[in-house]
Structure 1
Amino acid sequence: MTPQPRPLPPARPLEVRPGAGGAVRAAGLPSAAGAWRHSLRFRLALTYSALALLMIMLVSASVVALLLSRMDQQFNARLNERADTLAEAFTGTGQGLGKTAGGPTSYTMLVKDGTVIYASPILREFDRSPFPFGEQSRVNIQDTTVRAVKRQAGDFGTLWVGLPEDDLIAARESALSALLVALVFTPLLLLLVGWWVGQRSLSGLERAATLADRIDPTHSLETLPLPVREDEVHRLLSALNRLLVRIEAGQAREKQLLGQIVHELGAPLTVLRASLARAGERTGDAEVMRAALVADELTFTTQDLMQLARGQLEIKLAWHYIPATTLRDRLDRLVPGTTFSGNWTVGILCDPDRLTQALRNLLANARRAAGPEGTVTLDLKDTPESLTFTVRDSGPGLPTELGERIFDPFVSGSGSSGLGLSVSRQIAAMHGGSLRGANHPQGGAQFVLTLPNAALTDEDEAF
């Protein structure tokens, strides 16, 4: 039996983050549903809305101020023109008094020596009375705001002429109300428009992120398709493609180097392992037998490294339907001192070498954790749907701080190479199963490897 190389573990999505030396590392991407407030699209829309609102406020306030100023100037011009016309009528021929003063709604009074000697019909209450307004330029008459000016009317006295401001005030209030409504609804409108514009403008970047998220370095590092328009998104994707090419080249060199190292170590270790095994059988020397076990450990480590170097896509399973007892006998020879329990009378559809390698790694780790005096058990349970191998030891248990990282390559909580658990999980996945690890409530570590049950039916057996 010659165990074969193992596949690489599934990689997390590539995420390029700035750091020392421009390092590239794998990391989980945040959920889009919960990160809308952190999205570039939202920030651009918010920034666009704030800047646009500020500009609209400044422009609108300036336009409204200019409009109100022009309206005020036109009102004053109209008032002065009216006063000049009436003053000219008085200082001219003296004719037209009462005609040029306007109709019944005209605000006109002639004042001499502080007494009103003439008032238009709407101001009849002030006729022949002391002038009530003094130097006021804006007065309230019968709930109407009136702006007034004075003109000398020759020997007749001082002409007081007023003009109602109701229309001007109404226009000013309308302009301010329109400005207030615009400032209330414009931000929401701008935010919606900015979100829509940002969505269209950044659609290429979003597609690029989706494509980059699908990159799986364990399978391939295919370059991303470039957009037709050579904009910032095109430049970003081009840079990512160049990075992917460099990563793929680096991985190829690493795999080649690792494969060469494993190949150079494999042959001498095989010879050493066989020689020590024969010497141990011949002499019964405990030291020689211990050295043979170390050679076995190194041989399995090189096989794990070879599987890591070749990758999962290059591994092909050789399916066989074998009795479970055959698998148990292999494991008993590889990891002496293991206690087997459960139902070992069933058949297993698997790659015998791969499954032996996976379970051997679990048992070797358990023996290392339990120590020479500890216990290691392997229990097999079968159901119509699955076969469950449970490896349990009496050791100190798994380091809680590692969690699922215990299955990552080169992560170890027991001083080993850190490849065994990663290899075992990959082999389980290649068989359509799974591998989970946890601490048993009664102490020690427990690993559960589950495979689909492919037990032969009566019809299959007859065939």
Structure 2
Amino acid sequence: MSLVLVADDEPAVLEVLSQVVEDLGHDVLRARDGEEALGLARARRPQLVVTDHMMPRLSGVELCRRLRQEALLKDVPIILLSAVLPQGAPEASAFLHKPFEITDFESVIRQSLAAAPRPEPVDVGSPVEVLGQWVAQTLQGPLDAARAQLKQLESVPTADRATLASLDAQLQAMEALGRNLKDVARLAAGGVALQPVEADLAQHLLGAVTAWRAHAPVTLVASTEPVSVRFDPERIRQVFDVLLANAVKQDGGRGEVTVELQASRSLVTVQVKDRGPGFPEEEVPRLFAPFQTGSAGAAGLGFYVASELARLHGGALSAVSRPGQGSTFSLLLPRGG
């Protein structure tokens, strides 16, 4: 039994081809376009790829070329199906011109699998890791297309600016979700390596707050003295952004977001406070668990990533929240001295 990836944007054709492969005794991965097929191939490493040529986002020929560029997929046989390419493409291992007989399709499936190299078993990772990588990869194509279309709309003088701003916010949320899913996958695999430096945490916090002031009023309460801590600037900025994004959203533009920095010889605490609706008390203990449902919504995945990044720094992330009284998120980081 082999794993076969079948890609076709016509649902009826996809179902027929997949059924034929299953009747031959193989497992099937189904993809509705080239980008989805590429993401599935990277995540699951099939023994054979069957792809139509005329597909949205990524054509069959371009999918062949992209697969040939992947170190782990370059030797996987590919059957290309097309009604417009009379001779197929050199990147494909086999070619069938549409329309074709099912018996011909079955024959080329058998021949391709018989000639396919048998890869050594590999650990594809936990289900969470595989799912995170695949979803993040699959999301990227439509998000890039939507972002390009939004830029075109922004140049139209008669476009409704409030609607465009709302679309931009939704795209940012989806892009953040994709980034968080990638980080969840890396965290699950133990693949997040910090690059710590000794630096002034106060200056980095000021930079994050300044950036978020473009979206809403944020008050920073901190000493002017430097706060030297050993940390990964990129990853700690990621934690700041998760907490500030949540606070600005929860506050609803009322200008009651406050960020406080406190430091002792052994510990630094950054608190991000809002006066929004808060979270139900029963949800607070679960805010930092992955894939939780509730009022946190997609932001909960960001909380999980932020808490894991804090843990990798030897610190911790906690929250206190009550309905109607807002929330306080606290980042604790150790320091020497």
Using the TM superposition, give the Cα deviation of residue 381 of structure 1 relative to its aligned residue in structure 2, in angstroms.
Answer: 1.2
Aligned partners of 1:364, 1:450: CA distance in 2, in Å? Answer: 19
Q: Which runs of 5+ in 2 are unaligned?
A: 1-121
Q: Where do 1:194-213 residues align within 5 Å?
A: none
Find the counterpart in structure 1 of residue 96 from structure 2: none
Tell me the CA shift for residue 368 of structure 1: 2.3
Structure 2 matches for 1:403-422, cutoff 5 A? 403-417=284-298, 418-422=300-304
- Residue in structure 2 matched with residue 72 of structure 1 by the alignment: none
Distance 1:423 1:282, change over 3 A: farther
- The 5-angstrom pairing of residues 167-186 of structure 1 reads none
How big is the shift at 1:290?
3.1
1:14 corresponds to: none
2:258 alignment counterpart: 377
Change (3 A) 1:342 1:270: farther
The TM-score with structure 2 as length reference comes to: 0.53
Distance across 1 between alignment mates of 2:306 and 2:147 = 23
| Structure 1 residue matching 2:287: 3-state secondary structure | helix
Q: After superposition, what is the alpha-carbon deviation per residue over 1:390-430, rounded to whole angstroms, capped at 9, x for unaligned?
A: 01110122211224122211225424212122111111101
**Aligned counterpart for 2:196 among listed residues 319, 340, 344:** 319
Structure 1 residue 269: Cα displacement: 3.2
2:219 pairs, out of 336, 339, 342, with 339
364-373 or 260-269, larger mean C-alpha shift = 260-269
Partner of 1:310: 186
Write out aligned runs for 1:113-132 (5 A): none
Residues 273 and 296 of structure 1 are in contact (CA less than 8 Å); yes or no, is this contact kept in structure 2?
Answer: no
1:395 partnered with 2:272: no
Change in 2 beyond 3 A, CA 1:321/1:280:
farther
Q: Deviations over 1:25-70 (max 9, x none)?
A: xxxxxxxxxxxxxxxxxxxxxxxxxxxxxxxxxxxxxxxxxxxxxx
Which residue in the other structure is 2:135 paired with?
Answer: 261
Q: Distance in 2 between matches of 1:252 and 1:411?
A: 18
TM-score, normalised with respect to structure 1: 0.39
> Alpha carbons of 1:431 and 1:344: their partners in 2 closer, same or farther (altered >3 Å)?
farther
What is the rounded CA distance, in whole Å, between the counterparts of 1:398 and 1:432 in structure 2?
Answer: 27
Question: Distance in 2 between the 1:256 and 1:366 partners?
Answer: 31
User: Is 2:238 aligned against 1:360?
Assistant: no
User: Could you tell me whether the CA contact under 8 Å between 2:208 and 2:241 is conserved in 1?
Assistant: no
| Contact 1:368 1:414 (C-alpha < 8 Å) held by counterparts | no
- Give the 3-state SS of the residue equivalent to 2:320 in structure 1: strand
| CA offset digits 1:302-342 (Å, max 9, x no partner) | 11111111225111112233443234223432462222222
Q: Which amino acid aligns with 1:453?
A: R
Counterpart amino acid of residue 193 in structure 2: K
Q: Distance in 2 between matches of 1:343 and 1:438?
A: 24
* Residue identity in the other structure for 1:364: A
Please say if 1:436 is aligned against 2:318: yes
Superposition RMSD in Å: 3.4
> Residue type matched to 1:310 in 2?
R
Structure 2 Cα separation of the partners of residues 385 and 451 of structure 1: 9
CA distance in 1, matches of 2:295, 2:153: 30
Alpha-carbon distance in 2 for matches of 1:281, 1:331: 29
Identity %: 28
Report the 3-state secondary structure (helix = DSSP H, G, I; strand = E; otherwise coil) of the residue aligned with 2:319: strand
Does structure 2 retain, via aligned residues, the 8 Å contact 1:386–1:451? yes
Structure number with greater CO (CA < 8 Å, separation at least 6) is 1
Q: Is the 8 A contact 1:369 1:414 kept in 2?
A: no
How big is each residue's C-alpha offset from its partner over 1:255-296, in whole Å with a ceiling of 9 and x where there is no partner? 234312212323553575587579769979333233223222
The structural deviation recorded for 1:345 is 4.6
Q: Report the counterpart of residue 330 of structure 1 in structure 2.
A: 208
Q: Which has the higher helix share?
A: 1
CA separation of 1:451 and 1:425: change in aligned 2, threshold 3 A: same
Q: Counterpart of 2:258 in 1: which secondary structure?
A: strand
CA contact (8 A) 1:342 1:379 kept: yes
Kept in 2, the 8 Å contact 1:377–1:391? The answer is yes
Question: If you compute each CA radius of gyration, which structure gives the higher value, 1 or 2?
Answer: 1
